[in-house]
Structure 1
Amino acid sequence: MPKISQKGLHMPASPIRKLTPFADKAKADGKKVYHLNIGQPDIETPEGMLNAIKNIDFKVWAYTPSEGTLSYRKKLVEYYNKLGYNITPDNIIVTTGGSEAITIAMMTCLDQGDEVIIPEPFYANYNGFANQTDIVVKPILSYIDNGFALPPIAEFEKVITEKTKAIIICNPNNPTGYLYSREELEALKALCLKYDLYLFSDEAYREFCYDGRTFVSPMHLDGLDDNVVVMDTVSKRYSACGARLGCLITKNKEIISTGLKFAQARLSPGMVEQIAGEAAVDTPDEYFEAVSKEYTERRDTLVNALNQMDGVYCPNPGGAFYVVAKLPIDNADKFCQWMLESFSHDNQTVMMAPATGFYSSPGAGANEVRMAYVLNNNDLSKAMECLAEGLKQYPGRTL
């Protein structure tokens, strides 16, 4: 029988989805499963997006330009320039989700064997994208004790080699919810200019900043235009994960012209999605204000409940809709599977993502889990009751 590729064998399984068979079995057995493992919001998608789809009237479902339709890119310019990005439609390549924006950025800017530095824990699929594009992830540990703040710049410099070509940040961060400050971004700017590095900025959670904190993008920093690549998506902002619509943004013309060749190779982003995305830009500010208020309340429910549990510690995140919590357990992968396979409280249980999959360093995150506060407060409270009881019964409890 022909053999599977080495690339396929080395492709990591998603920590967010790999326990799905156990969740499915729990549901088949009649258990209620609270899904805190995946960032699928239950917030309603803006009405304008849905109406745009319902009112579509075309006779041919045709290809769009590889870089995205001009009308959609013009609407995106309205959105980003309102935020102070100062871009034109020529600075944008529309992509099939934020995932494709990341892979196009990697393929455009990095060669096989080149290294990219990423503070960890980081979005688990960065490992998968690196495997696909044959680049090497050089992780820099951040720590739960200080809320997963950006590691000192000296730690970055320790791992820089002649192969280092880029740094990736996710801000606000998935999985930790940490919101990078202007001071931290200025420090990264100085580092990128010193070593002539790209700075990839994953901004999927831009709208979700709490407690009066301000979002800062590398696009706001002077003198970094040729180094910055923003990777974005409508998935979280508009609660439209199934739209699979994102974009790559840069003022570096060479990146745009080269990235377009990869975009042409996959033909085009979807027409219907761009019609919906164009309508999404006109979503009123009140929508985001209500969503931010809702997520703030959910965050407080989750974080307060976690920190009241014996032996549990969870920092209070400044953005996104995730937390990473440290639990009194021997192994997060075993615990998360046990919660689905062997545990039930009032015929209910909780699905979480083991944090090990959000690290690249072997052994890191062994007693940590990521949870997404994408359920309503009532369900979150019930999920926390289940977790508290599960921690009491788990055979591998360490405290």
Structure 2
Amino acid sequence: MTTVEGRWVSQLSVSDSKRIQSVCSAELLELAAGQVGWEALDWAVALGNDLAHRCVEIFPEFGDRPAQVATVRLGTESAAIITLLAIDGHDFQMPEINDDTVRAIQEWVQRGVSLLTIWAAVRRGHQWLAEEYMRACMEQVPVQEQPAQLQLISQVLLRFIDRFSDAIGREYETEYGRWMTTTAAAREQVVRALLGREGYDVADAEKELQYSLAHRHHVGLVLWSDTNDLRRNSSLNKIADTALRASGAEQVLLIPHGQSTLYAWGNRTRSISSLHLEVAIDEEAPVRMVIGRPHEGLAGFIRTHNEAQQARVVLDALPGLRDKTVDFVDVHLLSVLVQDMEKVHSFLEAELGELAADDPQSATLRQTAEAYLRLKHSPLAVANELYVVRNTVIYRLKKIEQLIGHSLDERALETWTALVLKDGMTTCSDPRRQTNP
């Protein structure tokens, strides 16, 4: 019986615009590149990335933030690469599961993603993989050879997905059993119950967390990284603890939420208006932090965390706001507006008109208008900040007022808010911190 091999997969490639850096281990990448070459490997990586984004759209439990998508990619990319190698040659020993997928499972267990969700995603991923490999086969393989190659694809994927699903189940149960015996898991469950207002006994919660809830003033932080690099993400605890201790917090509570997000609280007994958190976050580090307002008691513990989460939603909705540290106070108004992005677009159209255009000249005019409103309507202060002469600022202001149809001294709050929203929605905008005029 003749052995069928799919050597044609080594001819697969992807356009430069779709090339993306892999999240998989160097060991798997080097193995694949040695067998099928870097061009075919890039095709599989791009396919894995595409499947991951499809997956988080259908299964929102995985999360759609960058680090969460990268975790899904650990599974989808490794699956695309391993099946590529198996189709290429039957001498390839297809593993049941690899270290990259194990890392993803550890993250999902810690974040409470169910095994049923993972299995459903695997089944859908199998369907997508089959469709993409069959499409590639029909593009690359002569018609007379396609039946044998399509059958090979089907056999490889069925064998892979059966072994993969079983291995995921075993690994998930093992990791779940290990995780549930840890102190971190017990504390995370208590915090989840408190935040969900499930009526958890406060005295029991304080004992489990070793953190006082009643009769204390709390401030909540949320820190996260846009990567799933565990070595780089290890700095989250240090940054949060340093910030809270420096602010005068008498107790600190750090609760990891998966491997790339940290929930943190600090408290003290005396009343406070602001903790004035100050911490230097390396500009090169993929770490950001949002801060809730200080509040008192168990209700305050919950409220300050929710405010930090609302600030994070603003940053998700407005990627142009690239500050490393953001206080809820500074984005409170924006947090209300971004709850309905369709209304945001209508608001921008009404307030900015032609000034909302996506071109360099309009961006410069918006920058000038925002600075004018923020700097107490002083053309000289704007000129000094933007390093232009005062007459240039005055000329720009006249042009701006022509575009929006009224003086910038009218509807200042609405105009400023629209400017921040517009440039916040533009990822290449100036990362300078915005403050209310």
State the TM-score bracket (shorter-chain normalisation). Answer: under 0.3
Higher relative contact order (CA 8 A, sep 6+): 1
- TM-score normalised by length of structure 2: 0.22
Relative to its length, the structure with more helix (as a share) is 2
Relative to its length, the structure with more strand (as a share) is 1
